Structures are given as C-alpha cells and as structure tokens.
Structure 1
C-alpha cells in the first residue's frame, strides 16, 4: 500500500484529469439512455474529444495517424456537407461508447488482477497434464476472456510460460511453450464469437439492424466450438514428436490447486449474466449498455467484499484512485486507437454509403452465400494491412444490405462478422492478441500469425463458411 500511495502522490495532474474525464465518460454514456439526462450524450462526446487530445502527445506515432485521419474527415465533412455535425456526431457517439465500454471493462480487469482466486484458477489450468492441457487452456480462457479481455492472454499465457520455463530441456520447453500459447490464443479468438463483453459482439450488433445478443449467443457458441474443435484437432494431428534422448518433465503447479478453484470465475460470469438479462427484460436496456452499467458496480462490490471489514473504505478508495489516476491513463495507446477507429469507421462509412449507392454497385444483388463469406475473408485480410477490426467493421459494416433485403436473419450477418473478427485476432500481426502471444513466445508477430496460425485460419474459414451456409 505504501508503494501505491507514493505512486498516487507522484501522479501528474494531467493524468489525474484524464482519469476523471474517462470515468465521467462512463457515467454520461450510461445516463444518455434516458431522455431526462439530455445533456449526457453531448457531454460524453466533448469529454471523449478532450481526453483524446490530452493523450495524443504521449501515444505512439501509429496512433497519431488515426487522429490525423479523424481530423481530416472532420474537415471534409465541414467542406462538403451541409449538415456536418450530423455525420460527426454519429462518429463521436461511437467513439465515446467505445471509450466508456473499454474503461468499464478495465475496472473488472483491475480487480481480477489483484485477486488470489483468479490467480489460482489460472494456475490450475496451466498445470494440467499433457492429455488435457490444450483443452483446459483453450476452454478455460473462454471464462477469463469476458472479464479480462486481452488480459486473459496475459494471465493464462503468462502462467503457461512460467510453468513451461521450469522444463530444463530446451527443445521440449520450446514445443511446450508454443502449444500452450496456441491453446490460449485460439481459445481467446473463439471467445470473440460469443462474448457479450467483447467489442466483436458489441460493435457487430450495433451496426446490424434487428440484431439482439440474446438471439445470437447460442449459434455464436457453435462458431466458437468450431474454432476450438479445429484447434484441438490440429494440435493432435501436428503434435511435435519428442526427439530421441529427450524426456519431458511433468508440469507442477506453483501452488496446490484443484478444480474447485474455477468456481469463483464461474460465479463471476453468473453475476454478470443475470443482471444483464434482467435489465434487458425489465428496463429494455441493450446488453451492451447493461454491461456498461453492471461491470463497474460489480467491480466496486468485489473490491469491498475482498477487503478486511475494518479497511474496506481505505482499500476501496486506494484502488479507485490507483485505477483512475494511474491505470486508466496508462491505456493511452489503446484508448486513442479504439476511439479513433470507431470514429473513423462510423464517419467514413456514413460518407461512403451515398457514394456506393451513386456508383450503381448493388451489394444486395450478390448471392447471399457470398455476402456472408466476405466478412470472414475481408476482415482478416484488412488485418494484414493494419486495419483494426473495429475500424474495418465500422467502415464497411453499414454498407452491407440489411438482413430483410437479403431475406435472412440478422443473426447470420453478426455471426459472419464476428467469425471474421475472430480469425483476424489470430492472423493480423498488428492486433494486441498476436503481439502479446509473440512477446510471451519470444517470436515475431509474423511467426505467430502465419507460421503458427496460417493453416489453422484457412481451415477455420472454410468450416465457419459451411456453418454459416447451414445456419442461413
């Protein structure tokens, strides 16, 4: 605690201001769901702009490019549109929601990161024997991903790397690290197909008219099962043989764990799911907005319950300040990238729609099967060019014909988009998931994308396309 207090005292005023603004964006985005808080939506947009401007000087050059492109779109709107604020406002609404959603999820990641129970669950999964290690990790990360997002790769991947590093034989250690990281990475990608806390589901359902998460979850779990099944099958088929004269040392947990250590993770999922369903049925809030409301409250409750009774106030205040003033501003690169990707995609997509219509290109004239397969192919392809899935989907998603025009369910379109998003998560060298796995595996992002996952991605693309044809 002394270190935390010292860090708080040394925190710059700018970081504290940014933390407060980001926290208020969450609050105003939630309040914007009710007409009585008419000021909330505009306030969230203004704070998003101010937060990005405050963060820009300290982010990577590649993130600044997104800000420059966003500014160029604003200028273009003012020059060529009679009502530029209409276009810009839609883009800012998307950006402010993305910032709010990211920061809200970060509260849960902060609390989970300091929980011994979450650590024990991760250790249990990472220390499974060879016969069920891949399955344990690729299925286990499904439970961690909704809570921790990319942090699930850091936690389970880090535990996997730590347990593998205790193997004295370098050849076996190299094989073990690769297989365990592949299991975590592919399992995380599979979670993007169904997780209501992931951007893939949230963004997809927001741009596809008529899409509802409660109708999508079950078929989305089938998509996830396909990714998991293909990964497990390929792991078994292409499992490296141990060279002659080499003997693997059984993994041992750094602390004694049992299957019961997974219960806290399962309880967390239940505590998130039930209020989301209730708010949807009672208050009519969308699943995304319900999550935005519930996650910070759940995180706060977890902090209070996990502290000694006499220290709860101090414990909560310390971690709240630590999260708001230190941790949130540290996500500067992610916040700028995600918010600008959402703004650019939404704004440019709105601008492109009339241009595409005027060109005579009628996407509705294409075969339905082709339109459903295109996202599975194009989103990963865009990832090879450095296009963030949020940017790609926000940009091209609105150009797709409506489900009613195609005569199919909105669910089919969402399944297609989330499938392509998931495949981009294992093939794009520019995504956070690939870069995290590459860092943990001491290899390049290109190695993870193409050598580790190239054949896997191609196989999954075919399997998912067949599944979508069946569903549609």
Structure 2
C-alpha cells in the first residue's frame, strides 16, 4: 500500500508541474508540492545519509522561515513549488529510462561503442555516453560501465595488468565526461531547468545553441587531453576488447539512437513553442508519451505496454527516494535561502568588491565548482547565487557560466552521484576518479570556461 501511495504521489507531482504553466496556476504548483511532501513522508525514512542530511536541512529551513521570515507561507509555497517542478522533470524522465533499459537498441549501441578500436574508443564512448545520457540520464553510467568492465579483462589486454588499468581509466573517464557535458546544454537535464528558472529574462531559444557550442568545446578538450596523456605510440599492442565482427561494423543502432534522441528534443521544443511554456515543461509533456511509443515499438501491444510500465513504476518510483530528497531538498533549501539573502543584497556585496563584471562571473562559476567539492549541491549554489549578478552581466553569460561549472564539477566532486557510480563500477576509490583521473580535465576545463565567457561577453557587448 505504501509503495502504491508513493507511486501515485510522484505521478501527481508530474501532473501538477505540467498543469501549472498550462492554466493551473499557483494551485497546481501547490498540489504538486503537497504530493512531493507526501512522497517524502512515505519514503524519506529510507534515504541514505546524504538524502537524510538534505531533508534535515529542509526541515531546519522550514522552521527558520516560520519563525523569522515576515511572509513565511508565501516563501514556503514558492520553495515547494520550485522543488516540485524539478522533481516533476526528473520523474517524467524516469518513464524514458524505463523504456531505454528494456531496449535492445540501447544494448546494441553500448556494445558497438565498447568494441571500437583504441584509436577511436575514447571518442566513441564519450559521444555515445553523451547521446544515450539524454534518455537514460545516470542510467548510462552503469549501462556502459558494466560493458567496459566485462570487456576489459586480463586476457583481452594480453596478460598486461597495466593495460587493463589504463583502459579502465580511459573508457570510464570518457563516459563520465560525456555524461557530465550533457548537462551543459540538454533541455532534459536538471541543470537546464534550474538555470532557466533562476536567471530571469533568459530565452531558452538563445541559450540552447550557445550551450551546444560550449559542450562541443568541452568534449573536444576531453579528447585532446586523453590523446596527450595516452599517445598511441606509447602503448604496446594488445588484442581488442572483443572479437571484431566480420566485415564493416554496423552503425545503424547508433544512428537510430541519435534519431530517437533528436525526436524527443525536437518534440519538446515544438510543444513548448506551441503551448507557450518553458522548454522544461515541454519536455515533461513529451517524455512520457515518447516512452510509451518506444515501449510499444518494442512490444507491439499497448495493453502489455501499459501493464508492464505500471509494474515497473511501482518499483522504480518509490526507489527514487534519494534523488527526490537530494534534488528536491536542495532546490527547496536554495529557494528558502534566497528569501533571506535576496539577490539584491548579494549583488550589492559582490559589487562592493570592485571587481570587473566578467571576472565576477568567472569567480562565481569557479565558486560553484569549489563548493561542490565539499558537498554543497550545485542546485543550492545556482539558486542562491544565480540572481546576484543578473544586473551586472548579461543573463546569457551568467547562465552559461553556471551550467558550465555544473558540468565540470559533476566530474570532480567526490560526493557526486556520477563520480560515486563510476568509482563503484571501476572498483577504485572515489578520489581516484575525482582527482587522479579528472582533475586535469576539470582544471583545464575551468580555464576554457573562463575564456569562453570572455568571448561570449565580448560578442554580446559588440553585437548587442
């Protein structure tokens, strides 16, 4: 009974988050927030340590608001509605993950990527992880990671344990970076939803193409650093990870996956334009039907699709407790913090430093990355600091800084879900993944991000 109630509660969060911009207004947002609170009452007790900490902070923030804020109910309603919107997007994406995890197409793509020859394996894995993560999100890491570990055996490396370790580092780093860079631009990502909500006056039609360019730069940076660290001539020859297929490789699964991802993103854009809502709301409306169509293509029987999906949701949605606690709780706490520390106050303090605006936004991006290292969620820092510089730099520059910093920190924070997942798959300490494998990429990426922001700001000043 509890599992059924929790599942229905999360589905109500999605419904309320979709209904709010379509005419449901504040009441739909409040209903979504109430449904999220009910879910956490049912499942929050089962969260792991980080989730419990965020929930405890949310309780403290609620108490502080009731005691000290002059308009407590208004602030709590705003924070709850913002948190529910993020969880609505995350839950909607869960439908797509259910379809992807049972898809032969996804498995074929994974096998194709892992079996590439050494010269193009990094590029194939980072691009493949980038594309598949659009539909699988975190699910791409265990999917490709499991294939990497299974294929990366001592026999496949010609008995050389050093080659096994190098291959693991290169392939797992490639897929981690590909996943993380997805958050730079994807309208299906939490970072996109949070940033568009936090930075006022920001049109997603302008943000999307700019961020795609930044994502290409960061992906190419990863490739360049991999080639520099592991030049082909420095590695002894070894057998491939898996026996090569007879004849040319069949790339049809990769093209089919790319087409599917493009259809979901294009559908989200189209619905957002036709409905006059934000892109993240368009994504919430498109993803569940897209998942049903994908499942129908796999099974060709809608009754079986609906029954099977319902059984899966009864298991998976209650299992989202940690994500709901951490994502929703962080958004709630960050929004509450803005009620006490307004963007105007923070902006006045920042301006008092007397630093050039461009330097301020670069330092802000680096601060997001640094605070993530000690466990401060990017949702909190983006929500709290995002509006502080809005009157100092163009919204597009600010949003690009925040989303770029979010992606880079996802590769390096030792308490982040992505790094923890890769470390568990690779059977190495978390700090090996965060620091030994990715510190150079993240530090160089921070320099690239700073240069990108300078070019973007200069271009807007010149042509704006």
Same fold, TM exceeding 0.5?
yes
Distance, in Å, in 2 between the alignment partners of 1:51 and 1:116 is 33
Q: 1:248 aligns with which of 238, 242, 260?
A: 238
Gaps of 5+ in 2: 458-464
In the alignment, what sits opposite 2:452?
Answer: 467
Distance, in Å, in 2 between the alignment partners of 1:278 and 1:183 is 32
In the alignment, what sits opposite 1:228?
Answer: 219
- The Cα offsets for residues 105-137 of structure 1, whole Å up to 9 and x where unpaired, read as 111011100000111011111110011111111
In the alignment, what sits opposite 1:5?
Answer: none
Matched, 1:263 2:251: no
Distance, in Å, in 2 between the alignment partners of 1:360 and 1:423 is 27
Matched, 1:105 2:90: no
In the alignment, what sits opposite 2:182?
Answer: 191
Query: How many Å apart are 1:270 and its aligned residue?
Result: 2.4
Query: How many Å apart are 1:247 and its aligned residue?
Result: 4.7
Q: Structure 1 pair 318/360, CA: closer, same or farther in 2 (3 Å)?
A: closer
In the alignment, what sits opposite 2:17?
Answer: 29
Q: Structure 1 pair 326/444, CA: closer, same or farther in 2 (3 Å)?
A: same
In the alignment, what sits opposite 1:68?
Answer: 56
Task: Give the total of aligned pairs.
Answer: 452
CA contact (8 A) 1:124 1:253 kept: no
In the alignment, what sits opposite 1:333?
Answer: 322
Query: How many Å apart are 1:81 and its aligned residue?
Result: 2.2
Q: Structure 1 pair 253/374, CA: closer, same or farther in 2 (3 Å)?
A: farther
Q: Structure 1 pair 358/177, CA: closer, same or farther in 2 (3 Å)?
A: closer
Q: 2:45 aligns with which of 40, 57, 62?
A: 57
Distance, in Å, in 2 between the alignment partners of 1:308 and 1:359 is 60
Q: Report 1:289-328 matches (<5 A).
A: 289-309=281-301, 312-323=302-313, 325-328=314-317
| RMSD across aligned positions (CA) | 2.2
Matched, 1:344 2:333: yes
Higher deviation after alignment, 300-309 or 425-434: 300-309
Matched, 1:273 2:262: no
Matched, 1:430 2:390: no
3-state SS, counterpart of residue 86 of structure 2: helix
3-state SS, counterpart of residue 318 of structure 2: helix
Query: How many Å apart are 1:410 and its aligned residue?
Result: 1.6
Matched, 1:171 2:159: no
Q: Report 1:133-172 matches (<5 A).
A: 133-165=121-153, 167-168=156-157, 169=159, 170-172=161-163
Gaps of 5+ in 1: 1-12
Distance, in Å, in 2 between the alignment partners of 1:191 and 1:303 is 24
Distance, in Å, in 2 between the alignment partners of 1:470 and 1:363 is 25
Query: How many Å apart are 1:353 and its aligned residue?
Result: 1.4
Distance, in Å, in 2 between the alignment partners of 1:313 and 1:150 is 29
In the alignment, what sits opposite 1:77?
Answer: 65
In the alignment, what sits opposite 2:461?
Answer: none
Q: Report 1:354-373 matches (<5 A).
A: 356=345, 362=351, 366-373=355-362
Matched, 1:238 2:226: no
